[in-house]
Structure 1
Amino acid sequence: MKIIITGASGFTGQHACQHFSDARYEVIAITRKSEVEAKNCEVKYCDLTNQKAVLELIKATKPDYVLHLAGQNHVGDSWEDPVSSIQANMMTTIYLLDAVRKECPSCKVVIVGSALQFDVGNIATLTHPYSLSKTMQVLIAQSWSHLYGLNVVIAKPSNIVGPGRSNGVCSIFARKIMNMEQDETEQKHLEVSHLGVQRDFVDVRDVVKGYDVLFQHGKPGEIYDISSGINHSLGDVTMHLKTFTDVHFNVKSKQYGEINNPSPVNPEKISKLGWKPTIPFSASMKDTLDYYRNLS
């Protein structure tokens, strides 16, 4: 079976390409200009904000599956350039889905949303342009499924961690610790926004397996949370990382006091399809740290 993976050079994209290649899919890795490390993939370069280029891509490849990972995923950048964020997240999704509608309407598509989507019934829950762009992306996916009968499923992963290049907080901490290990002049401390901040972290390798399950069993138009179901604080993150290094470092919190943390994200819906997380949080932290060590 032929699968197109957009955002193939990104953190999750690299893992997805390797997973589906190992599972004997014919993988077409889509990137705008970066390299794709995964083996046994056909790499194609395409600017997904170009509607004509997207249509030509789908027409030429006629995929059985599309995993749409490409987009802008930085909250700070969305404040600086909201239009680009909307183009990268919403418009690329429209172009892909409409190309699928025209050229291969039986293709199954998984669109990857975000845990930072807001409640469209309450504008007060909108906190940044990134949230707007991802919420609109999901609405477009559901709308094309409803209006045109496309087989589109929406995945909503929680905070993705694990080995690979990522701008997530766990990777930032791991890179800092690796620098401490390699450079004796590096300051031996981590700065944390608030040690009590809690998030649901799920390993990237488990997430990619979840996307595979959604291709096989996900229902069109439905949204599936992919999560561990367990919250970990940033204090937990630093303590886990400390156990995997001989470097003694201090942790400095920029803020103190109570904080309102979200409840753990329940993955019950996708669990009913046969998926469950298998990689413990401690293993994710160790593998992340080892990844950056191996780069040095």
Structure 2
Amino acid sequence: MRLLVTGGAGFMGSNFVHYIYASRPDAEILVYDKFTYAGRIENLKELDTSRVKIVKGDILDQEKFTETLKAFQPDYVVHFAAETHVDRSIKDPSIFIDVNVKGVYIILEALRRHDGPKLIHISTDEVYGDISGEPVTEEAPFKPSSPYSASKASGDLLCQAYWRTYSLPVRIVRPSNNYGPRQFPEKLIPKTILRALNGLPIPVYGDGSQERDWLYVEDFSRGLETIILRGRDGEAYNLPGLNPKTNIQVIQDILTLLGKPHSLITFVPDRPGHDKRYAMRGDKVLSLGWKPQTPWLDGLRKTIEWYKANEWWWRPLLGDEFFSKDTPWGGTR
């Protein structure tokens, strides 16, 4: 199996590369990554370069991506590369439109003109927007709330259109919130861990009652592998954690595991358009034989221990803003 993984140096992408590297010794992997702030070569440093090739490239560079595709001849293009941070999208939507919409178009066009590889497009549960009732299926309408989720929904629609119009073999994967090692410190769980370790206040948007469905990143990687091996072209697959938690519950659990006082929690004004709840059904992927295996507190302990053991990884990423008492969350994704 030959996999070209765009964004393979980011959080979810690099964890998937590590998972495939360990579970499938016959797999050949090429990571295609721009190495922006969240895509780091450090995330791949333990891997043997004879099995994992690395190309520094931008998905918006159509010529370079096409050349890489032709040279490597993958069986699958697993497309992680994206701008994913809600707060950043609110401050400046333009890069989200470029990367998450135009970037998907460039990849689809390259694959349309290069017959062979299947596209596995990594999306998000946020395309469904705020869910007030029962968890949704893959047929639910899109109701994105932020420029980020709107850009991801646009990418999904392009993938669906290329399947319908050109019969381009594509599968869409919509995971719930992932957590685990190598996640950039602007996200909820690592930011809480690192601020708590440093005895800093934990700012929380609103009252912290926003609910997310948390999935340990290794379970996500197994689910993605299942969809690659057993899924069907033209289908979208929800990949839920089946583990809903409010933001305040997440923070309290981390503080308890670290032995830190809950008095570190401080509440700040909510962000614009903040979704209250995400919730998906996972019947389609469950029917393929996958289900989450990592209990919440076990996954949280593993995540905490990784950050405690790898200060070399996160310490260079923290600027003065991180240590500010008034710094709000950089999102919950």
For residues 70-120 of structure 1, the C-alpha deviation after alignment (integer angstroms, 9 at most, x for no partner) is 0111122223332221111112112112212222x332221011112158x
Tell me by how many angstroms 1:242 deviates.
2.6
Q: 1:31 aligns with which of 30, 33, 36?
A: 33
Q: Give per-residue Cα distances to partners, 1:50-83, cap 9 Å, x unaligned.
A: 1111111111111001110001111222233322
Once residues 144 and 249 of structure 2 are traced to their aligned partners in structure 1, the CA distance between those partners, rounded to angstroms, is 28
From 291, 297, 317, the counterpart of 1:276: 291
* 1:74 and 2:85 correspond: yes
Q: How does 1:1-296 map to 2 (within 5 A)?
A: 1-22=1-22, 23-24=24-25, 25-33=27-35, 34-35=40-41, 36-40=44-48, 41-103=52-114, 105-118=115-128, 125-166=143-184, 167-180=186-199, 187=200, 189-193=201-205, 194-250=207-263, 251-254=265-268, 261-262=276-277, 264-296=279-311
Quick check: 2:6–2:31 contact (8 Å CA) kept in 1?
A: yes
**Is the 1:69–1:112 Cα contact (8 Å) retained in structure 2?**
yes
Number of matched residues? 285
Q: CA deviation digits over 1:181-218, x for unaligned, max 9?
A: xxxxxx4x422222322111111111111111111111
Do the aligned partners of 1:90 and 1:137 also contact (CA within 8 Å) in 2? yes
For residues 146 and 276 of structure 2, the distance between their equivalents in structure 1, rounded to whole angstroms, comes to 18
The Cα offsets for residues 258-281 of structure 1, whole Å up to 9 and x where unpaired, read as x98436322111100111000111
Q: Mind listing any 5+ residue stretches in structure 2 that lack a counterpart?
A: 130-139, 312-333
Cα distance, 1:17 vs structure 2 = 1.0
Shift of 1:128: 2.2
For 2:85 and 2:78, the matched residues in 1 are separated by 20
Percent same amino acid at aligned positions? Answer: 24
- CA root-mean-square deviation: 2.4
Deviation at residue 229 of structure 1 after TM alignment: 1.9
Q: Tell me how far apart the structure 1 counterparts of residues 233 and 46 of structure 2 sit (CA, whole Å).
A: 29
Given residue 30 of structure 2, which amino acid in structure 1 is its aligned partner? I
Q: Aligned partners of 2:287 and 2:58: how far apart in 1?
A: 36
User: What is the TM-score of this pair, normalised by structure 2?
Assistant: 0.79
2: distance between equivalents of 1:85 and 1:246? 38
Change (3 A) 1:260 1:17: closer
Structure-2 separation of matches of 1:126 and 1:15: 27
TM-score, scaled relative to structure 1: 0.88
Preserved contact between residue 118 and residue 132 of structure 1 (Cα < 8 Å): no
- Higher RCO by CA contacts (8 Å cutoff, separation 6 or greater): 2
How far did residue 122 of structure 1 move?
Answer: 8.1
Does the 8 A contact of 1:206 with 1:278 survive in 2? yes
SS in 1 for 2:68: helix
What CA distance in whole angstroms lies between the structure 1 residues aligned with 2:141 and 2:286? 29
User: Residues of 1 paired with 2:11 and 2:93: CA distance?
Assistant: 22
The secondary structure found in structure 1 opposite 2:126 is coil
3-state SS of 2:238 partner: strand
C-alpha contact (below 8 Å) 2:171/2:232 kept by paired residues: yes
Give 2:133's aligned residue.
none
Measured in 2, the distance between the counterparts of 1:85 and 1:255 equals 24
Other structure's SS at 1:111 match: strand
Do the aligned residues in 2 keep the contact of 1:230 with 1:265 (CA within 8 Å)? no
